[in-house]
Chain A
Amino acid sequence: MATAAGTLAAPAVQAPSGIWAWLTTVDHKRIGTLYGVSGMVFFVVAGIEALLIRSQLAVPNGEVVDADLFNALFSMHALTMIFLGVMPLGAAFFNWLVPLMIGARDVAFPRLNALSYWIFLSGALMLNASWLLGGAPDTGWFAYAPLTENTYSTGRSMDFYTVSLIILGTSSLIASLNFIVTIINLRAPGMTMFRLPVFVWMTMIVAWLLVLSLPVLTVGLIQLYFDRNFTTNFFIPDGGGDPVLWQHIFWIFGHPEVYVLILPAMGIVSEVLPTFSRKPLFGYGAVVFAGISIAILGFAVWSHHMFTTGLGPVPRVVFSATTMTIAVPTGVKIFNWLGTLYGGSIRFTTAMYFAVGFIATFTVGGISGVMHASPPIDTQQQDTYFIVAHLHYVLFGGAIMGIFAGVYYWFPKFTGRFLSEGMGKLHFWLFFIGLNVTFFPMHFLGVSGMPRRIYTYDAGLGWETWNFVATLGAFTIAAGMAVFLWNFFRSMREEPSAPDNPWDAPTLEWATSSPPPEHDFDVVPVVRARDPVWYDRDHGIAPPEPDPHEHIHLPPPSYYPLLIGVGFTLIGIGALSHLALVALGAVVVIYGIWGWTLEPTGAEPAAGGH
Chain B
Amino acid sequence: MRLDRVHTRRLPLAAAVLLTGLVLAACSDPLSTIEPKSDATQTVQNVYVIVFWLAAVVFVGVLGATLILSIWFRERPGRVASQFHGNTRLEIVWTLLPVVILVAIFIPTATAIVDLEPDPDDLPPGTVHVEAIGHQWWFEFRYPDLGIVTANEMHVPVDRPVYVTLRSEDVIHSFWIPQLVGKVDMVPGRENAVIFTPNEARDEAYLGQCVEFCGTSHANMRFRVFVDGQADFDAWVEAQLAPPVAAETLSELAQEGAALFQNPILALGVTPCVGCHTVKGTPAVGLIGPDLTHVASRSTLFAGIRDGFASSEDPERVQRELERWISDPDDIKPGVTVRENGMPAWGEHLTSEQITALVAYLRELQ
Give chain A's interface residues, CB within 8 Å of chain B. 66-68, 71, 139-140, 144, 146-147, 151-152, 237-238, 242-244, 277-286, 308-310, 312-313, 316-317, 320-321, 324-325, 327-328, 331-332, 334-336, 338-339, 341-348, 356, 359-360, 363-364, 367-368, 370-371, 373-384, 440, 443-444, 446-458, 460-463, 466
Given A280-B85, A286-B86, A383-B174, is A368 in contact with B94 using a C-beta cutoff of 8 Å?
no
User: Is B99 in contact with chain A by the CB < 8 A criterion?
Assistant: yes
A67 contact set on B, CB distance < 8 A: 216-217, 219, 334-335
User: Is B296 in contact with chain A by the CB < 8 A criterion?
Assistant: no
Instruction: Assess whether B69 is in contact with A384, with CB atoms less than 8 Å apart.
Output: no
Distance of B298 from chain A, by nearest CB (Å): 17
Pairs A–B under 8 Å by Cβ, sample size 6: A147-B213, A237-B188, A320-B109, A356-B70, A444-B22, A447-B32
Instruction: Assess whether B55 is in contact with A371, with CB atoms less than 8 Å apart.
Output: yes
Distance of A425 from chain B, by nearest CB (Å): 14
Instruction: Assess whether B188 is in contact with A279, with CB atoms less than 8 Å apart.
Output: no
A312 contact set on B, CB distance < 8 A: 117
Given A147-B215, A237-B189, is A379 in contact with B105 using a C-beta cutoff of 8 Å?
no
Contacting residue for A316 out of B18, B41, B97, B113, CB 8 A: B113
Contacting residue for A380 out of B22, B48, B339, CB 8 A: B48
Instruction: Assess whether B33 is in contact with A278, with CB atoms less than 8 Å apart.
Output: no
Question: Which of A242, A285, A324, A377 has its CB near the most chain B CB atoms (within 10 A)?
Answer: A377
Given A67-B334, A375-B113, is A456 in contact with B220 using a C-beta cutoff of 8 Å?
yes
Instruction: Assess whether B211 is in contact with A338, with CB atoms less than 8 Å apart.
Output: no
Nearest residue, chain A, Cβ from B179: A449
Given A146-B171, A308-B185, A374-B105, is A448 in contact with B31 using a C-beta cutoff of 8 Å?
yes
Distance of A275 from chain B, by nearest CB (Å): 11
Instruction: Assess whether A343 is in contact with B212, with CB atoms less than 8 Å apart.
Output: no
Cα-based distance from A394 to B47 in the complex (angstroms): 24
Contacting residue for B79 out of A144, A339, A345, A458, CB 8 A: A345
User: Is B112 in contact with chain A by the CB < 8 A criterion?
Assistant: yes
A453 contact set on B, CB distance < 8 A: 213, 218-219
Distance of A338 from chain B, by nearest CB (Å): 6
A146 contact set on B, CB distance < 8 A: 170-172, 188
Nearest residue, chain B, Cβ from A358: B66
Instruction: Assess whether A449 is in contact with B109, with CB atoms less than 8 Å apart.
Output: no
Contacting residue for B216 out of A68, A316, A356, A360, CB 8 A: A68
Contacting residue for A152 out of B66, B76, B183, B339, CB 8 A: B339
User: Is B209 in contact with chain A by the CB < 8 A criterion?
Assistant: yes
A377 contact set on B, CB distance < 8 A: 44, 47-48, 51, 109
B184 contact set on A, CB distance < 8 A: 308, 310, 379
* B window 332-357: CB within 8 A of A: 334-335, 339-340
Instruction: Assess whether B51 is in contact with A383, with CB atoms less than 8 Å apart.
Output: no
Question: Which of B99, B113, B218 has its CB near the most chain A CB atoms (within 10 A)?
Answer: B113
Contact with A along B10-31 (1 / 0, CB 8 A): 0000000010011001101111
Query: Size of chain B's interface in residues, with CB distance under 8 A?
Result: 94
Contact with A along B35-71 (1 / 0, CB 8 A): 0000001011001100110010011001101110110
A341 contact set on B, CB distance < 8 A: 66, 69-70, 73
Instruction: Assess whether A338 is in contact with B66, with CB atoms less than 8 Å apart.
Output: yes
Instruction: Assess whether B69 is in contact with A376, with CB atoms less than 8 Å apart.
Output: no
Nearest residue, chain A, Cβ from B93: A335
Distance of A366 from chain B, by nearest CB (Å): 9
Instruction: Assess whether A317 is in contact with B182, with CB atoms less than 8 Å apart.
Output: no
Given A282-B85, A371-B52, A461-B30, is A380 in contact with B106 using a C-beta cutoff of 8 Å?
no
Contacting residue for B98 out of A317, A328, A368, A383, CB 8 A: A328
Contacting residue for B82 out of A139, A279, A281, A331, CB 8 A: A279
User: Is B102 in contact with chain A by the CB < 8 A criterion?
Assistant: yes
Instruction: Assess whether B73 is in contact with A342, with CB atoms less than 8 Å apart.
Output: yes
A310 contact set on B, CB distance < 8 A: 166, 184-185, 187, 190, 192
Nearest residue, chain A, Cβ from B110: A317
A347 contact set on B, CB distance < 8 A: 75
User: Is B178 in contact with chain A by the CB < 8 A criterion?
Assistant: yes
Instruction: Assess whether A280 is in contact with B185, with CB atoms less than 8 Å apart.
Output: no
A237 contact set on B, CB distance < 8 A: 188-190
Instruction: Assess whether A466 is in contact with B25, with CB atoms less than 8 Å apart.
Output: yes
B114 contact set on A, CB distance < 8 A: 313, 317
Instruction: Assess whether A331 is in contact with B33, with CB atoms less than 8 Å apart.
Output: no
Instruction: Assess whether B55 is in contact with A368, with CB atoms less than 8 Å apart.
Output: yes
User: Is B95 in contact with chain A by the CB < 8 A criterion?
Assistant: yes
User: Is B91 in contact with chain A by the CB < 8 A criterion?
Assistant: yes
Cα-based distance from A286 to B219 in the complex (angstroms): 46
User: Is B249 in contact with chain A by the CB < 8 A criterion?
Assistant: no
Given A325-B102, A345-B73, A356-B70, is A282 in contact with B86 using a C-beta cutoff of 8 Å?
yes
User: Is B80 in contact with chain A by the CB < 8 A criterion?
Assistant: yes
Given contacts A331-B98, A379-B181, 9 further A-B contacts (CB under 8 A): A71-B215, A147-B213, A374-B105, A375-B109, A376-B109, A384-B211, A448-B29, A449-B209, A462-B32
